[in-house]
A and B are shown apart, each in its own frame.
Chain A
Amino acid sequence: MDEQDQSQPNQFSSETLDPIAQMKHAAMLERLSNLHRSRLQQSASRRTDSAAASPAFESVHSFLDRFSDSKRSIEADLARCRALASDPASAPNLKPELEKVSASIADLDRLVAENSYFLPSYEVRSSLKAISELKEALDSANSELMPRKKFSFKNKASRKDPCVLVQQIDEIKVLDAEKSNPGGVRDSPGFRNKENAVLVKHFRVSEEGEGNFSLSDLNSCEVYLKGRIRALFVHRLRNCRIFAGPVQGSILIEDVNDCLFMLSSHQIRIHQARATDFYLRVRSRPIIEDSNGVRFAPYRLFYKGIDEDLKDSGLGEETGNWANVDDFKWLRAVQSPNWCLMPEEERVGTTNSSDREEQCDDE
């Protein structure tokens, strides 16, 4: 009973037991330490295995080892980033470091996803939670250490220099190719920035294939487009009259006041139109948005060859859709107050644009 005071049970046994028992005891200790060593080795090799070959061998244990290792290293990296930020000299390194952390978090995420099929749901849940905490930590570090630039409006380089206003489409094309601004964005062919002019363009398929065309910033102009186009964009027109042949794709109209449009197309979208009349032939239902005082009537345009052009564009037949207007600002069953059908007596007669010649031919 005296020996109870001794803290070391080994000593206790070695001192009190006979030699045979002592030998047995030593052998057992050796076996135990061998076992322990081999276990250590195993776990070390498992760790290198799992690092080399992923996914790991469906072992929850090795997954958790690996997960916590990466988690610790990510946390250490984050802490290092914060240390970096306090030192102005190393500030340029900060961004790549943070990106590295973000990439390692993504890797960790993938690790969980790859192993999720054998992990108990608790482990999946807790790993996902740990990842989302890491992400939050990264986000807050990001926003603290690398505050985003405040949003502000900048003066863009003006799109078009008034002195190079071109008279001929060909010229526009060449200029656009040359002028393409730093963003690499070029303007499509079209009539732009004109006042009190009569503008005529004849699209010949063989000549330039089927492209798109724009009408923008026109004031008090009369525009005649003959032949087929794929798409038509209309923007900022005041007091204009537009007569266009078939458009095989869609027409997009934005911001027009006091105009008359005669158009045929597969789709027509009208935005911010005021006091404007539309003479349409459309395959689908035309729509208006943010518009008022707009009126609709059927298409009445003639030029030599228009019937063929219409047929080739799939617009040979009148569908009656010119009257089926959807108003996105009036989603109710009753008639929208923003548009109406035009009384027959107020409609213009068939417009004949056969005699209209292209400007470039005149000059």
Chain B
Amino acid sequence: MGLLSIIRKIKRKEKEMRILMVGLDNSGKTTIVLKINGEDTSVISPTLGFNIKTIKYQKYSLNIWDVGGQKTIRSYWRNYFEQTDGLVWVVDSSDVRRLDDCRMELENLLKEERLSGASLLVFANKQDIQGALKPSEIAKALNLDALDRTRHWKIVGCSAYTGEGLLEGFDWMVQDIASRIYVLD
């Protein structure tokens, strides 16, 4: 706990937040990160390993860790849990068949003690695709209402393709983290 308070103090000075983006493969994690950073999203290969982006957002500096979602590398997610302030779980809302997989992976993730204090933002991505499930349907399929009461969470429908919903999600997450860590603001 001593270390934690030191880290908090350092973070308070730099106004830095650490965001971890995870989710099944093909859910659009990298596209979301590039889109919100204003980069070209037309050529993105499936992520082999991870990408880090530091983005200035409002008065904060977001350290976004975008970790590949292929089955083979999901077991490495745990290496990125430490000091995570915000967890972004990205769902392909048009991938109905793998919703069960998606729910189970999320459940496993939330059992992780090192993530117990992190705010959870669920992006119901690909809302621009016809036939995609609505955020409320995704919330139901992932059983989000049964989450631990102490967890701060929100689900936001978005499209990394058009950019819709991305700011709404990040606004909530940044506010929620700020109210936990930077009380004076």
Contact = CB atoms under 8 A, between A and B. Distances in A.
A116 B184 CA distance: 10
26 contacts: A102-B148, A102-B150, A106-B149, A116-B5, A121-B5, A124-B5, A183-B140, A185-B99, A186-B96, A187-B96, A211-B94, A212-B130, A216-B97, A230-B129, A231-B94, A235-B97, A250-B26, A252-B95, A269-B26, A269-B70, A271-B71, A284-B46, A290-B72, A314-B42, A326-B48, A331-B48
Contact of B131 (A103, A105, A129, A212): A212
A305 interface: no
A105 B5 CA distance: 19
A285 B45 contact: yes
A53 B1 CA distance: 28
Contacts of A102: 148-150
B73 interface: yes
B38 interface: no
Q: Interface residues of A: mostly helix, strand, loop or mixed?
A: mixed
A231 B141 contact: no
Contacts of B140: 183-184
Contacts of B72: 289-290, 328-329
Contacts of B131: 188-189, 211-212
A183 B141 contact: yes
Nearest to A331: B48
A113 B183 contact: yes
B85 interface: no
Given A125-B5, A128-B4, A326 B97 contact: no
A283 B96 contact: no
B137 A249 contact: no
B70 A328 contact: yes
Given A252-B95, A287-B48, A328 B183 contact: no
A266 B71 contact: no
B25 interface: yes
A99 interface: yes
A208 B130 contact: yes
A228 B25 CA distance: 23
A210 interface: yes
B18 to A, nearest CB: 17
B44 A233 contact: no
Interface of B: 1-2, 4-5, 8, 25-26, 42-46, 48, 70-73, 94-97, 99, 126, 128-133, 137, 140-141, 148-150, 161, 180-181, 183-184
A353 interface: no
A170 to B, nearest CB: 14
Interface string A258-281: 000000001101010000000000
B42 A249 contact: no
A214 interface: yes
Contacts of A209: 130
A185 B73 CA distance: 28
Interface in A186-238: 186-189, 208-212, 214, 216, 230-231, 233, 235
List 6 A-B pairs, minimum CB-CB distance, nearest first.
A211-B130, A284-B45, A285-B45, A328-B72, A212-B94, A287-B46
Contact of B44 (A185, A271, A284, A314): A284
B129 A212 contact: yes
B180 A267 contact: no
Contacts of B141: 183-185
A106 B150 CA distance: 6
A114 interface: yes
Contacts of A326: 45-46, 48
A249 B129 contact: yes
Contact of B71 (A189, A230, A289): A289
B96 A113 contact: no
Contacts of A184: 137, 140-141
Contacts of A249: 126, 129, 161
